[in-house]
Amino acid sequence: MQDTHTTGKKKNIWAFGTKQVVYAAIGAALYAVVTWAFNIWQIPGAGNVGIRPAVVIPMFFGIAFGPIVGFITGFVGNILADMLSGYGFWLWWDLGNGVMGLIPGLFSALIYIYNEKKSILLGEVSVVLGVALGMALASVSEMWVSGADINTVIFANFLPAFITNVLWGLVLLPILMVAYAAIVQRSGR
């Protein structure tokens, strides 16, 4: 296996060439399709929040291909998913989803071998940070838009979104990382 760790090359996580354009487009489309397929699971009583196993996709694309790809996967993917479902545009939630991919993307600089314990641990930390920052950004914007107070924002918007997204991310990200490690090894990327 010829990975950047063994060859000693540093990863350029901010590159955005042809490959990253395609990965970001595929990631966004995948996020939209899987979100749309699972959109029937809404959390009753929680504002603007649905249960989405697909949230792991921007996180994983961030870890695998860097912060720009992670951000676009979350941001554009959420726009496309809302368009497919006919919900319109909710820019602040789109940005929040983008941040959920961006933060794990920043950790991608430290991750070389995807099935290593250390890499998986870093991935899990990035999930918690990414979801916390992304959902905080989206939830706090509800104060500006709907005039809610901080308690309502925390209990009706942030916590339902944070808890469900972080659970999906923590459980599914390691599985995706291990599966991707096998592909990297097989294809010698």
Partner 1 sequence: MLVAWNYRYRNSPMDHIDPRARFIFSFAVLFSATTTWNPNILFAVFLIAITWYSLGRLTWKDTRLGWFMISIMLFTMIVVNTIITGGGAGGVVPPGGQLVWPDGVLIFGKHLNLGLTVERLWFAVSQLMRILSISLVFIMIPYTMDSRAYGVTFSKLGLPDRLAYTMELSFRFIPTLARNFQVTLDAQRARGFELDAGKGNIIQKIRQVAPLLIPVTMNAIVSSEDIANAMDLRGFGQRKRTWLYQLKFQWWDWAIIAFSILMLATTLLLAYRFDMRLFSVPHWWYGLFN
Shortest approach of partner 1 to residue 48 CB, angstroms?
Answer: 5
The residues, any chain, with a CB within 8 Å of residue 54's CB and separated by 6 or more, are: 30, 31, 34, 35, 38, 77, 81
CB closer to partner 1, 8 vs 81: 81
CB closer to partner 1, 122 vs 176: 176
CB closer to partner 1, 8 vs 88: 88
CB closer to partner 1, 8 vs 33: 33
CB closer to partner 1, 8 vs 53: 53
Shortest approach of partner 1 to residue 164 CB, angstroms?
Answer: 10
Q: How far is CA 10 from CA 6, 15, 65, 109, 183, in A?
A: 10, 12, 14, 8, 21
The CA dihedral of 152, 56, 134, 159, to the nearest 10 degrees, is 20
Distance CA 60, CA 42 (A): 23
Q: Which of 118, 125, 134, 114 is nearest to 52 (CA)?
A: 134
Interface residues toward partner 1, by CB under 8 A = 16-19, 21-30, 32-34, 36-37, 42, 45-48, 53-54, 56-57, 60, 64, 72, 76-77, 80, 82-91, 143-152, 155-156, 167-168, 171-172, 175-176, 179-180, 183, 187
**Residue the block writes with tokens 């996580």:** 13
